[in-house]
Structure 1
Amino acid sequence: MYAYDDYEPKDNEFLKDVKGCATYTEIKEWIKSEYGLKVSSLYVAQIKDKCGLEKRLNYNMGEEKSRVPKCPLEKEKAIMEAFRHFNMI
């Protein structure tokens, strides 16, 4: 017969090398609480592209002639910090 001990780590140090995953909503809420900035899903997606992170297929592509805004540097830095916070990079 085997005896099992319940193991509960004292902190999240064991997760430091594990790649994380967060939803767009979690990322946006974290940025809002930490920096007071509102970021769009479009900006999060642009920075994911920049980092080479995987995204799902976008079914709402819009028209070809539409102008797509670029993510401002301040918001890009906040999104990058959120990616670090969620262990995505």
Structure 2
Amino acid sequence: MLEQTGLKVSNLYIAQIKKKCGLDVGENFNLPKSENAKQPKCTPEKEEAIMQALKHFGII
């Protein structure tokens, strides 16, 4: 992602977009310690870049 778009994208953002598309996401072993832990939301710019990458690799 960094080479193609110049954006650093975390695995969390990729997982959020995959869930949004209804794709299977692996089990998370790094569970939060509190039930109401905040998760950062993916920006629209990064979301579009992730969608393009998923389309490029034939995932969606």
Q: Answer with 64-73 or 74-83: which moved more.
A: 64-73
Q: Offset at 1:65?
A: 2.9
Provide structure 1 residue ranges, at least 5 long, that are not aligned to the other structure: 1-30
1:38 matched to 2:36? The reply is: no
Q: Give the 5 Å matches for 1:1-89.
A: 31-63=1-33, 64-89=35-60
- Aligned-residue RMSD, C-alpha: 0.8
| Structure 1 runs of 4+ with >4 Å offset | none
User: Is there any run of 5+ residues in structure 2 with no aligned partner, and where?
Assistant: none
User: Residue 51 of structure 2 aligns to a residue in which SS?
Assistant: helix
TM-score, length of structure 1 as denominator length: 0.63
Alignment length (residue pairs): 59
Structure 1 or 2, whichever has the larger Rg, is 1
